[in-house]
Structures are given as C-alpha cells and as structure tokens.
Amino acid sequence: MKVAAAGLPDAIRETIQSWGWQLSEVNPDAILTLVGRYIEIRAAATLLADDIAFLPLIEEELKLRIELAGQRRTRLAKRLHDLRSPLNAIQGYAEIIAETAEGDVIRFSSNIRTASELLTIRLETFREEGV
C-alpha cells in the first residue's frame, strides 16, 4: 500500500510506516486502494464527508469484486466439468471391461474404476470449496 507523504505530520508518517505501507511523493494527499483507485486524505473534520462521498466508489469496488468472484466460480465450474466428463467415460469403460473380461483384467478394470471414482470425489470437493 502506498501513501502520499506530502504534508503528513511526522506522527502519521511513523504510524503509516509501522503498518508496512510505503510513503510516496507521487500523488500528494492520496492513498492507493487494492484495485488502483486513489482516495484523498483530508483534515479530520472532513473525514465523515469524505466517507460519504466515497461510498459510490466503495460500492463500485464491491460490485467489481463480486463480479470477479462470479467469473472465477464460472471458470472453475467449466474446468471441473471438462475433467469430470472424461472421468465418467473412464468409469463407464472400466465397467464394460469388468463385465466382459476374465482374470487379472477384471482386477485392473476395478482399479481403474476405483481410481477414477476417487478423482471424481476430489473434483467435487474442489467444487464445494471453491478451490
């Protein structure tokens, strides 16, 4: 987080630095938010007015974050679907092989089916956790 250093009292400078923020001379009287917008720092008497004035910016930022989270969930769902489809085919073929095979092939097809079922369970866990 970068904070403008111009005109800040020493006590405020020290507090800002103790938070691990960097002081900057680039844009006096401003701090940089996470999404790259600047918010002005004013005297204590105008802070409430500033808070009210910045509500639309904060609301816009929240809407952006909600939209980005939705896009992330959509991409995750598509990727999980892309993985589940071939796993279902693998499970189906393993079942067909088990029904028609003999000896070790039955055991191998059972191993294939078990492994693909475990992968399906893990994918479902990823979906639920939003990984």
Claim: this prediction has a pTM higher than 0.85: no
Residue-wise DSSP of 40-62: E---GGGHHHHHHHTHHHHHHHH
Phi, psi of 30 (to 5 degrees): -150, 155
Q: How far is CA 95 from CA 55, 85, 92, 110, 121, in A?
A: 59, 16, 5, 8, 18
User: What is the C-alpha to C-alpha distance for residues 13 and 3, in angstroms, rounded to an integer?
Assistant: 9
pLDDT at 27 over 70: no
**pLDDT tens by residue, 69-119:** 888 888 888 888 888 888 989 999 988 998 888 888 888 998 998 999 899
| Arithmetic mean of pLDDT over the chain | 73
pLDDT at 20 over 80: no
pLDDT at res. 56: 79
* Residue 109 CB contacts under 8 Å (≥ 6 apart), including other chains: 94, 95, 97, 98, 101
| pLDDT tier at 9, thresholds 50, 70, 90 | low
User: What is the C-alpha to C-alpha distance for residues 85 and 15, in angstroms, rounded to an integer?
Assistant: 54
